[in-house]
Structure 1
Amino acid sequence: MKKIIVVLLVAVSLISCTSQKQNLETVQAEISDYYPFLEDTHLTYAGRGNEFAGREVYFDFIQDEQAQMRVDTGGTTLAQVVEITNGELRRLTSQEGFYYWQELKVEDDNDYEVLLKEPLTKGTTWTLQDGRKRYISGENVEVTTPQGDYEALEVTTEGEEYKQIDYYAKDIGLVLSQYKSGEVVIETLLKDIERDRAVEQQVKFFYPDFAAEEIKYIRREVEFKTNDSPEEVFTLELRKEAPEGLTAVMSENTTINNIELNREDKIVKVDFSKELLTDMNAGHVLESLIVQSLVDTFGRYYQVDKVYFSLDGKAYESGHMMLEEGDYFEVEEDMIEYQD
């Protein structure tokens, strides 16, 4: 009889310890558990109920507690910056038409949206800046997606005429989002996770055809991975040998120091090392073609019509060309594709 009592006491003790451990894990769960910043990872979501409900997500830049995501909805590509701070997951900005690789600098961090808030337990509630109510409505909720089944944290947002429910799974992030308004139901569901993946972009590179005194372009696939510097990537790409019959635009010694994009003024500023000019060894016509080729490459890629060049911080100046304060080069409209 004593042995039975001892066994029962041990069993009760083990159950109690297990229960306490599970509760402790729930209480101690952090936002980074349910919304990890995934390096070099491509997330694909299927859509239901709307042609733009599906999407592809990639973390372009990750710096400590802040990350910049690329969200391709099929209709546009968004750049979204999120941050984990003070027990909150905040979306600091979301910009449309972001088809290039460039790190955003968020100047005003007061206009943000809180996506998640600790403690990550059912009942945690907060009010968004526009007055909507958002709260954690469930824990360990079972959800099914094309990618698999998950136990997720359920977060509900109540609007005036709609309700949105988002589900976050540990070590992955958002796995399902459901929007309901009347009889309308739109869903975004995790479909695939690809690790060690790069973002591939087709870029037009322009080169002088000196014999014809004109500029031609080629299309080349360029890969970007999380935290890749656009300066380093374009330095390597522009150092490559030009196609047969065309002239190279940058020497192997030339480096791109900085690329600064101003979306509002539609201008991109590119600072090269001095070797761009000292290694060029070109007359007026060829120099003009090289400069214009670079202008067209950066202008087309960043979707602007104005490009400013500098050499180690000083405005571009040679014996043939000179930029003064407020000056810039203009992207040409006519384009000729190179045929080998």
Structure 2
Amino acid sequence: MEKKHLLSLVIVGLFVTGCRPTGTDVESSDSVISSESQVESSSQSSSEVESSESSESSEPANETASIAAYFPFEENVAYSFVGMGNEFATYTKYPQYLENNRIQYVTNNGGTETVEVLEYADGTLTQVFQRPETYFRENMLNKTSDDAGTILLKEPLALGTAWDNPSGSASEITAMSLSIETMLGTFPAIEVTTTDDDTITKQYYVEGMGLVKELFTDNAGSYEVTSTLETRNEDAPEAKVILTFYPDANVMGLESSEVNVAFNTNDVTRHTLTDLFRQIPGVEYGRLIPDSATINSLYLNDDGRVYIDFNNALITDMNTGSSGESLILQGIVNTIGTYYGVEEVVLTVENEPYESGHFSFEEGEAMRVDMEDVIK
């Protein structure tokens, strides 16, 4: 498992050129980077195709072209790339959050999920944040990683534009209007070549589409790994599976159920979980909170705990005995803890320690994820 994890991170780093978060989700946002031309969605499958060298030009594809044109920030567009040469070169990508000049993507290569935040500012497109092994959804647009700073594109978009990266690698625009074949068609693309000590990476960007292909080789040319855009589906949600825990019909223990949840760009996680807690789909008695209860805030803190705060209705409108209340609280904690991958959850009401006629917690006291009462 450790080897798979390390290999996943290496491949993601090479093919995503995409700390622990705190804070809450954003309610809404406006995209300031958009595309003038849209590409129709497609799920056509075919064998991996190689790029053509016949259409290379030394002239810019568009003298006034900007990064906004060649890497549009778009909501609700699901991308999938087919890989060759390595099992982790195949991946999916989705824009989870978008606000002003920053966009947050999650990439899933079958071995791990990685979150990255890109920023378009001062004529550069830069990866400002990256967090591997992130299987939950949380707004990280305000985060900056100490080890980030890789530049994906730099203006002017013209042959010979070059830059250095914090890792020590050097990048340069090495071709304009290079014909690149993908499963969606053949397009003129900008080629960016990044050279490191032992490796060479080429990335291809198409106007109105963004990244369409990546090519990774070693300096000796002994092996080659590619990722090529296979599908680009607009108005598509991000699909997640959330394992939920709730009292059984007889309030004797906890049952569990996997629920398919769909998130669009900028959807607020706590709102989605509020609806889920009010009614588990397909389970008549699957309820964790009354309809009047809401989640005020939800986030993973630097101490490794998840903090979840409810309004007063969680207590005032619960209407159950002590055993039922105990199972409800444990169901909430098990669901949240499993979703975030943590062992402890601090549950509060209106930012005060949870206190009812049956249970009382101290300031900062956490409940642990516990599967003892889960019915097998």
Structure 1 counterpart of 2:124, one-letter code: E
CA contact (8 A) 1:217 1:335 kept: no
Unaligned runs of 5+ in 1: 1-22
Give 1:261's match in structure 2, choosing from 300, 309, 312.
300
2: CA distance, partners of 1:179 / 1:211: 57
Q: 1:29: which partner in 2? A: 65
Give 1:150's match in structure 2, choosing from 172, 187, 194.
187
Q: How far has the Cα of 1:246 moved from its partner?
A: 3.9
Q: How far has the Cα of 1:241 moved from its partner?
A: 6.0
Sort the Cα spacing of 1:296 and 1:51 in 2 relative to 1 into closer, same or farther, 3 A.
same
1: CA distance, partners of 2:370 / 2:144: 35
Sort the Cα spacing of 1:330 and 1:245 in 2 relative to 1 into closer, same or farther, 3 A.
same
- 1:217 matched to 2:256: yes
Q: 2:246: which partner in 1? A: 207
Q: What do the CA deviations read for 1:227-269 (whole angstroms, capped 9, x no partner)?
A: 000011111121226866746211111111111113x533111
The count of corresponding residues between Structure 1 and Structure 2 is 315
CA contact (8 A) 2:103 2:141 kept: no
Q: Map 1:22-61 to 2 at 5 A.
A: 26-61=62-97
Relative to the length of structure 2, the TM-score reads: 0.79
2: CA distance, partners of 1:288 / 1:233: 23
Give 1:126's match in structure 2, choosing from 153, 160, 163.
163
Q: 2:206: which partner in 1? A: 169
CA contact (8 A) 1:207 1:242 kept: no
Structure 2 counterpart of 1:216, one-letter code: E
Give 1:321's match in structure 2, choosing from 359, 362, 366.
359
CA contact (8 A) 1:44 1:190 kept: yes
- 1:72 matched to 2:111: no
Structure 2 counterpart of 1:187, one-letter code: T
Q: How far has the Cα of 1:291 moved from its partner?
A: 0.7
- 1:279 matched to 2:317: yes
Q: How far has the Cα of 1:158 moved from its partner?
A: 0.7
Q: What do the CA deviations read for 1:192-219 (whole angstroms, capped 9, x no partner)?
A: 1111111111212211126352111122
Q: Map 1:73-88 to 2 at 5 A.
A: 73-88=109-124
Q: Percent of aligned positions with the same letter in both sequences?
A: 30
Q: 1:101: which partner in 2? A: 137
Structure 1 counterpart of 2:93, one-letter code: V
Q: What do the CA deviations read for 1:167-207 (whole angstroms, capped 9, x no partner)?
A: 00011111010011121111010011111111111212211
Give 2:217's match in structure 1, choosing from 154, 177, 180.
180
Sort the Cα spacing of 1:247 and 1:159 in 2 relative to 1 into closer, same or farther, 3 A.
closer
CA contact (8 A) 1:210 1:286 kept: no
Relative to the length of structure 1, the TM-score reads: 0.87
Q: What do the CA deviations read for 1:55-93 (whole angstroms, capped 9, x no partner)?
A: 101000001110100101111111011110111101012
Q: 2:3: which partner in 1? A: none
CA contact (8 A) 2:60 2:158 kept: no
Sort the Cα spacing of 1:293 and 1:228 in 2 relative to 1 into closer, same or farther, 3 A.
same
Q: Map 1:227-266 to 2 at 5 A.
A: 227-240=266-279, 246=285, 248-262=287-301, 264-266=302-304
CA contact (8 A) 1:242 1:248 kept: no
- 1:112 matched to 2:146: no
Q: 1:270: which partner in 2? A: 308
Q: 1:9: which partner in 2? A: none
Q: How far has the Cα of 1:321 moved from its partner?
A: 1.4
CA contact (8 A) 1:139 1:152 kept: yes
Give 2:342's match in structure 1, choosing from 290, 304, 308.
304
1: CA distance, partners of 2:241 / 2:60: 49
- 1:331 matched to 2:369: yes
CA contact (8 A) 1:317 1:323 kept: yes
CA contact (8 A) 2:253 2:375 kept: no
Q: 2:331: which partner in 1? A: 293
- 1:189 matched to 2:228: yes
CA contact (8 A) 2:61 2:177 kept: no
Sort the Cα spacing of 1:335 and 1:184 in 2 relative to 1 into closer, same or farther, 3 A.
farther
Unaligned runs of 5+ in 2: 1-58
Higher strand share: 1
- Comparing 199-208 with 286-295, which one deviates more in the overlay? 199-208
The ranges of structure 1 where at least 4 consecutive aligned residues each deviate by more than 6 angstroms after the TM superposition are: none
Greater gyration radius: 1
Structure 2 counterpart of 1:88, one-letter code: T
1: CA distance, partners of 2:248 / 2:323: 11
Sort the Cα spacing of 1:70 and 1:311 in 2 relative to 1 into closer, same or farther, 3 A.
same
Q: 1:5: which partner in 2? A: none
1: CA distance, partners of 2:145 / 2:101: 14
Sort the Cα spacing of 1:179 and 1:272 in 2 relative to 1 into closer, same or farther, 3 A.
same
